[in-house]
């Protein structure tokens, strides 16, 4: 009887304890799942971020494919040019060798003529006739070889110009193409421009150089600047791009889809010569726009350049140290040489007895929209007239008050800085800066 009474506890107590433990475990699991759900980001945010990443990945693949295609094309062109240059070098060396042989032969014939001068007259005449015939043949061969050499040089020059034109056209497309904002860094990044962009900026810069008045003798006109491009750097910034695209959308909305009127042709008087050219021949347009978007030059100091790279152009600073003939805006020119007086100036570099001045100007994409043509000074203006987006100061030949056109923009969003151009004045440069 005692052993039977000292058995295990009743089963209902064990089942109750197990039930309470199971309920507690389920409560802890529910709390953990609720906490984990609260920590996860919303589903819409994940979808949006995933979509942006896919777009970026697609753009990166497109950019990579484009670069690979360009690399293959450039490698093919390089191989062709190497073959052409090798052929030309061989041909020129062969022609030079033949020229030397003919010159030596001509010299020996002339020596023979001198030797036969003391022979009897009959023999001398016969020898002179033979030598004259040989000289005539030699002169004919030399003439033919010179013509062949000129043809070869002309053909080589044509191919070089064609290749340069191809690079310039490619660089023009790259410079005028507005990238996707996700491909641009958030902060401003300055890097060395690639070959095509360098050649395009060099072509755009050099073709825009013109004569300007002497700084101290207004009736005297200086020479066309003789400068050399040293470096072209590309400016990339997501902030600048978004600001420009926003302003672009605003102008399109204001125009209600209508195309901006074509800008007038440019008329200029230099010294006593008047010239008139289409606007597209003087100013580089952006092919993907109907809002009169063009590439223009801007000269600035070293201190202001740092501010531009940091926060962009600020029209509120117009006229500080340089004057503001056409109001409180940012000033540009389609002639790079017009910016020399306002450009950042480095020290004169001494090389023996020579002095070379280095300067820097900017290339920017400017949204002119519907410009107002200004013929008189208006330093008090802060905005373009109602219904206009910018102001173009006309030249004296067009009834204005400046020698070369100036472009004034009053909205910082209308300007997208693209390139920094560093150049050097040559020793014989007689421009308005070097003669000042």
Q: Find tokens 């022609």 and name the residue.
A: 95
CB 192 within 8 A of CB 234: yes
What is the per-residue pLDDT for 1?
A: 43
Return the CATH architecture of domain 180-425. Answer: Alpha-Beta Complex (3.90)
How many residues does this entry show for the chain? 436
User: What is the spatial distance between Cα 71 and Cα 65, in angstroms, rounded to a whole number?
Assistant: 10
CB 418 within 8 A of CB 237: no
What is the per-residue pLDDT for 342?
A: 87
Residue 214 burial by CB count (10 A; 0-12/13-18/19+): exposed, middle or buried? middle
pLDDT in tens, the chain (436 residues): 444 444 555 555 556 676 777 777 777 777 766 665 555 556 778 888 888 888 888 888 888 888 888 788 888 878 887 887 787 788 888 888 888 888 888 888 777 777 666 556 666 677 778 888 888 888 888 888 888 888 777 777 676 677 778 888 888 998 999 998 888 999 999 999 999 999 999 999 999 999 999 988 889 999 999 999 999 999 999 999 999 999 999 999 998 878 899 999 999 999 889 999 999 889 999 987 889 999 999 998 888 899 999 999 988 776 655 667 898 899 999 999 999 988 877 655 544 545 688 999 999 999 999 999 999 999 888 899 999 999 999 999 999 999 999 999 999 999 999 999 999 999 899 998 888 7
* Domain residue extents for the chain: 71-176, 180-425
Q: Which structure tokens are listed for 263?
A: 């800008």
Q: What does each C-alpha distance from 190 to 28, 193, 233 come to in angstroms?
A: 55, 9, 6
Q: Which structure tokens are listed for 325?
A: 């003939």
Question: What is the distance in angstroms between the CA of the first residue and the CA of the last residue of the chain?
Answer: 129
CB 335 within 8 A of CB 393: no
Q: What does each C-alpha distance from 288 to 59, 167, 260, 394 come to in angstroms?
A: 19, 19, 13, 26
Q: Which structure tokens are listed for 30?
A: 């529910």
H-run or E-run covering 363: strand 354-367
CB 424 within 8 A of CB 368: no
What is the per-residue pLDDT for 43?
A: 75
């Amino acid at each position: 009887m005692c052993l039977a009474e000292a058995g295990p506890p009743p089963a209902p107590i064990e089942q109750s304890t197990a039930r309470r433990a199971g309920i507690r475990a389920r409560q802890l699991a529910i709390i953990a799942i609720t906490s984990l759900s609260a920590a996860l980001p919303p589903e819409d945010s994940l979808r949006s971020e995933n979509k942006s990443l896919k777009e970026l990945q697609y753009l990166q693949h497109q950019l990579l494919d484009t670069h690979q295609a360009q690399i293959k094309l450039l490698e093919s062109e390089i191989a062709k040019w190497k073959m052409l240059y090798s052929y030309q070098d061989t041909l020129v060396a062969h022609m030079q060798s033949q020229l030397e042989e003919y010159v030596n032969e001509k010299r020996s014939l002339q020596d023979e003529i001198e030797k036969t001068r003391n022979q009897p007259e009959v023999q001398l005449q016969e020898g002179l006739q033979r030598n004259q015939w040989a000289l005539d043949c030699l002169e004919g061969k030399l003439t033919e070889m010179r013509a062949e050499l000129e043809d070869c040089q002309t053909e080589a020059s044509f191919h070089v110009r064609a290749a340069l034109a191809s690079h310039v056209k490619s660089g023009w497309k790259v410079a005028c193409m507005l990238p996707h904002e996700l491909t641009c860094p958030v902060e401003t990044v300055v890097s060395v421009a690639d070959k095509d962009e360098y050649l395009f900026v060099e072509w755009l810069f050099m073709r825009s150089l013109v004569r300007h008045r002497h700084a101290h003798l207004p009736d005297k006109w200086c020479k066309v600047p003789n400068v050399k491009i040293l470096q072209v750097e590309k400016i990339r910034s997501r902030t600048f791009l978004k600001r420009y695209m926003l302003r672009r959308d605003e102008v399109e909305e204001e125009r209600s889809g209508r195309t901006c009127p074509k800008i007038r042709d440019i008329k200029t008087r230099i010294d006593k010569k008047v010239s008139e050219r289409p606007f597209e021949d003087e100013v580089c347009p952006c092919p993907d726009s109907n809002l009169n978007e063009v590439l223009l030059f801007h000269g600035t100091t070293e201190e202001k350049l740092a501010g531009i790279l940091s926060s962009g152009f600020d029209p509120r600073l117009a006229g500080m140290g340089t004057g503001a003939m056409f109001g409180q805006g940012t000033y540009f020119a389609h002639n790079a040489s017009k910016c020399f007086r306002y450009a950042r100036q480095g020290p004169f570099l001494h090389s023996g007895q020579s002095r070379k001045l280095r300067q820097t100007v900017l290339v920017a994409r400017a949204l002119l929209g519907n410009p107002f043509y200004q013929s008189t000074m208006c330093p008090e203006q802060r905005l373009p007239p109602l219904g206009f987006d910018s102001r173009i100061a006309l030249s004296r030949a067009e009834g204005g008050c400046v020698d070369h056109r100036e472009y004034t923009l009053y909205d910082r969003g209308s300007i997208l800085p693209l390139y920094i151009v560093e150049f050097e004045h040559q020793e014989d440069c007689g421009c308005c800066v070097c003669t000042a």
